[in-house]
Structure 1
Amino acid sequence: MSENNHDWHTGRHVVYDLHAHIILVTKYRRQVMTPRVSQLMKATLLEVCERFECTLDAFETDRDHAHLLVTYPPKTQLSTLVMSMKTNTSKRLREQHWPEIKQALWGKHFWSPSYCVVSCGGAPLEIVKQYVENQQKPNRKYRKKKQVTP
């Protein structure tokens, strides 16, 4: 993404652009993701994201897992966000008593206890690493300040 097209977010005393790719897997990898399950799940995730001042940028399910792309502020702890997403979607889906869920999953659980989260966005890590490592190099180009003559 070029510098001009970059969507920076601002808050009190912070400018940020944080994105996470989150993958949630159903308990026992049961294949329960029907269109109506996915639809209710997306609506619930949008509500959770709003509470956490996050944005659900992309969402899709496969038969036994869900992929989410979320933009989030630095004050949001990802583990807390994911726990809230899993808790709220599980509760709302179980309240429906849909057969595709009741027959495949028993007990109070919908999701596996584990999840995957991958940071994404910005420059490739190698470029950032080079930038950090080159901060004290003597050949680094500094912006020259214009001297004001009286």
Structure 2
Amino acid sequence: MEKSSSLKTSSHSTYRLQYHIIFTVKYRKQILTKAMLQRLEEIFSDVSGKWRCRLVEFGGEADHVHLLVDAHPAMDLSRFVGNLKTVSSRRMRKENQEYLERFFWKPYFWNKAYGIISIGGRANLETLLSYIHRTRCPD
């Protein structure tokens, strides 16, 4: 497996772009189950690959998720984040329709807002990985 801290190259650049992305459930409802988190990880990994990115790490709790993504320099970050939210929201609402209707009367899933933090030196990455690993997965 490629180390996430190594530099990558493309035809005219050398880069290492890593982003910590946080999505929260609409109204911070405590609705994400362990199975839903596993499915979200699959969805985010799939979408990331289509953008020439890689989901390095994923973790979450009942009301939010954390993604650590290795990005490509040609990627439009805001469009990428929008695509992650749109695809995951649509798939989760479709696959969990009956369950989610108990919490939302409109087709909601994620809050409009999101968090995104660029990751710098190695110490910061280790701190972030430790934090993501300590998140409490719902039963």
TM-score class normalised by the smaller sequence? 0.7 to 0.9
**Larger helix proportion of the pair:** 2
What does residue range 114-129 of structure 1 map to in structure 2 within 5 Å? Answer: 114-122=113-121
Q: Does 1:43 align with 2:45?
A: no
Counterpart residue number, 2:54 = 55
Where does structure 1 differ by over 6 angstroms across 4 or more consecutive aligned residues? Answer: none
Select the structure with the greater relative contact order (CA < 8 A; seq sep ≥ 6): 2
Q: Does 1:33 align with 2:35?
A: no
Paired-residue identity, %: 32
Q: Quick check: 97-106 or 24-33, which moved more?
A: 97-106
Looking at structure 2, the residues matched to 9 and 16 of structure 1 have their Cα atoms a distance apart, in angstroms, of 5
Counterpart residue number, 1:79 = 78
Counterpart residue number, 2:17 = 18
Judged with a 3 Å threshold, the aligned counterparts in structure 2 of structure 1 residues 38 and 14 are, in CA distance, closer, same or farther, namely same
* 5+ residue gaps, structure 1: 125-150
What does residue range 63-74 of structure 1 map to in structure 2 within 5 Å? Answer: 63-74=62-73
| TM score, norm. by length of structure 1 | 0.74
Secondary structure of 1:28 counterpart: helix
Q: How many residues align?
A: 121
When Rg is computed on C-alpha atoms for both structures, the one with the higher figure is 1
Counterpart residue number, 1:105 = 104
RMSD after superposition: 1.9
Answer whether contact 1:20 1:117 (CA < 8 A) is retained: yes
Following superposition, the deviation at residue 99 of structure 1 comes to 4.3
Looking at structure 2, the residues matched to 56 and 122 of structure 1 have their Cα atoms a distance apart, in angstroms, of 18
* 5+ residue gaps, structure 2: 124-139
Looking at structure 1, the residues matched to 33 and 122 of structure 2 have their Cα atoms a distance apart, in angstroms, of 36
Query: 1:105 corresponds to which letter in structure 2?
Result: F
Following superposition, the deviation at residue 39 of structure 1 comes to 1.3
Judged with a 3 Å threshold, the aligned counterparts in structure 2 of structure 1 residues 67 and 6 are, in CA distance, closer, same or farther, namely closer
